[in-house]
Amino acid sequence: MHVGSLASVLALAVAFFAPPASANETVAEQTRNSANWAMQQGDYTAQRFSKLDEINTSNVKHLKVAWQFSTGVLRGHEGSPLVVGSVMYLHTPFPNNVFALDLDNEQHILWKYTPKQDPFVLSVMCCDTVNRGLQYANNTIFLYQNDASLVALDAQTGKERWKVSNGNPKIAETGTGAPIVVKDKVIVGVSGADHGVRCHVTAYSIVDGKRLWRAYSTGPDADILVDPQKTLSLGKPVGKDSSLKTWTGDQWKIGGGSTWGWFSYDPALDLVYYGTGNPSTWNPSQRAGPDGKPIDQKWSMTIFARSPDTGIAAWAYQMTPFDEWDYDGVNEMILVDDMAIGGAKRNVLVHFDRNGFAYTLDRATGEPLVAKPYDNDLNWSTGVVLDKQAPDYGRPKVVAGKSTFLNGPDEITKYICPGALGFKNEQPASYSPLTGHFYIPANSVCMDMEPFKVTYTPGQPYVGATLQLFPPEGKSSTGRFTIYDAASGSIVKTIEEPFSVWSGMLTTAGGLACYGSLEGYFKCRDQADGTELFKHRLPSGSIGNVFTYAHNGKQYIGLFSGIGGWAGIGLAAGLDKPNDGAGAVGNYAGLKSYTDLGGTLTVYTLP
C-alpha cells in the first residue's frame, strides 16, 4: 500500500505541471488510495469512512501509541493532519504553523512554515483561534490563515507559491475553515457574522491565486450568484431579488451568513455543497420586517449547491428562516448514493444542522426528503413541514414559547433546546456503508437566551444576546455518541458522554467508529451497537478529527489533542465568568478538573 518516496515525488511533480483542470483528478486519485488521508473530509463525499480494516473490532483493544508529535502551540486543535504518500502535513491554531513530516524517517521534520500574521486578528476571532485544516492538490498545500490569507505552499519544500487576502481582519473578516480544491480552483469561505460581516464563498485559481468568482450569502442576485429563473428553492425558481426582498433596508450589507464550515462535491452533478451561518445580529427584533413581523433573511442559514466553474447556485434550501437562536447552518454535507427512501433509491445529501434537525435532501434539486430530530430533547420546533402543497413547505414549525422574537428583547426565553452551539457543531459526523448508518459526535445542551439591542460598529462584536447553557432537564451529561438512520429519520442508539463530543468521527471498514472526548480520551466503538472497544488517555482534551492511514503496509489511526474551540474556550482563553464565551464557560466549567491546554498529535497502531 505504501508508495516509495522517490516515486511519490516524481508522481507529484508530474501532477503539478499538468494542466490546471487535472487538480480534480489529483485529489480524486489521492483520496481513492486508502493508504492516504489526503483530504480533511476524507474524500469529496465527506463520509469520513476509510476502507482500511487491519485495525478492527476484534483487535482494536490491542492498540498502542506508535508516536506523538508536539505542535508547540496551545489553544484548540481542530481538523486533522493530511497524509499523502510518505509525508504527513500538520497545521496548528494561530499562528497557523505548518509542518511536513517524513514517515520514512521517524517523522523527521522536512520543513516548517510559520506565517507572519498581525496578532490583531486574535481580538476579533469568535470562538478560539482554531484552524480546521490544510487541503492538498497538485503538489501544493493550501493553508487558510486566521487573518483570512489563503496561501499555496510547495508540498516538497514549504515555499510560498502565492498568497492572497480573502478578507480584512480590521472589520473582523477571519479564516477558520478548511478550503476545498475542485478542478483548477481552491474554494474558501469566511467567518465574521457575529461582527456584522457580510460573508461569502470565493474561488481562486490554484495556479496563481487569481480570484475567479465570489458568491455572497446576502444581497443582490449578481452578488449572491443566483439565476432568478434557474436557481431553485423547494423546486421553484427563487425569483428576482430573492435575498433583498427578505431584508429591511440595507441590513443585508451587515447580514452575516458566515461560511466557515465544510465543503463537499459531487463530480457527476458538478456541484459544490456548503452551508451559511446566522444572520447578524442575534437579536431578531432588530431584523424584523417593516411591519414588525418576522422576515426570512435569505440566504443565511442555507444549504447552497453551486457550480465550481461559475459559482452560480443550482439550488438553495434555507433551514432556519429568521433565525432567533444562532443555529448556524454550516455543518458538513455528507453525500450518499442510492439511499432507499419511500420505495425509491435516491442520491442524497445528509446534514446534521445546529438547529437539531437531520436533513436528508435530494442533492440534485435540494428537495427535503426527511427532516427529523437527531436528539429527542429538541423543543423549539414541532417539526419541519414536508407537505409540498402546504404554504409553509420546507419550514420548521416554531413553538411560540421558545421564540426569542415573540418574547421580545431584554426578556429571557427559558429552556430552549438545543442551545446556540447546536446539538452538533462543526465536528463532522461520519457515514458507514457497512451499516448504512451515520455516527454523530453530539452535544446535549440547552439554553436560556436574552436578546438586547446592539449597535453596529465595524470590527466590533454585533451579537446582541446573552446566553446560559446547561444540560437538558434531568440530565447531568452534555455529550452523546449517536447512531442515526437518515433514510427513516430515526435515532438508532444514543450513548451518553460526560461532555460534548467536539471531535470529528471516523468510521472504518474494520467496523469501528472512533472519536476524541473533551475531557481527554480517544475512544473506538463498534458500529453495530456502540459498544466501547478501546479507550486511552490523551495529553489534553480533544476537538480534533480522527483520521487513519497506512504506511509500509501497516494501518495507523490518530487525532489531535488540545482543548479549545467554543466548548473549551474557557480553558483556552483563560475565561472564568459563567456567561463568557456565549455561555460556554459556565456550562463546561467542570472540564478544568479533567484536562488543561495542550497541542499534541497522537498516532496509534497494533503491536
Q: Which residues are catalytic?
A: 326
What's 55's DSSP letter?
A: S
Q: What strands lie across the sheet with 600-605, from one edge to the other?
A: 64-70, 600-605, 554-561, 547-551
Type of residue at 178: A
Which residues, 6+ apart, have CB-to-CB distance to 396 below 8 Å? 319, 320, 355, 357, 381, 383, 384, 385
State the number of CA atoms in the 13 A half-sphere of 15 facing the CB.
Answer: 26
Separation CA 334–CA 94 (nearest Å): 28
Separation CA 255–CA 360 (nearest Å): 27
Per the document, the length of the chain is 607
Distances in Å between the Cα of 556 and the Cα atoms of 57, 363, 491 are 15, 33, 31
Burial of 175 (0-12, 13-18, 19+ CB in 10 A): buried
Which residues, 6+ apart, have CB-to-CB distance to 293 below 8 Å? none
Provide the terminal-to-terminal Cα distance of the chain, rounded to the nearest Å: 19
Residues linked to residue 496 through DSSP beta bridges, in sequence order: 480
Cell of residue 46, nine digits: 465527506
Q: Name residue, grid cell 430533547.
A: 377
The candidate with the shortest Cα–Cα distance to 500, out of 354, 303, 325, 312, is 354
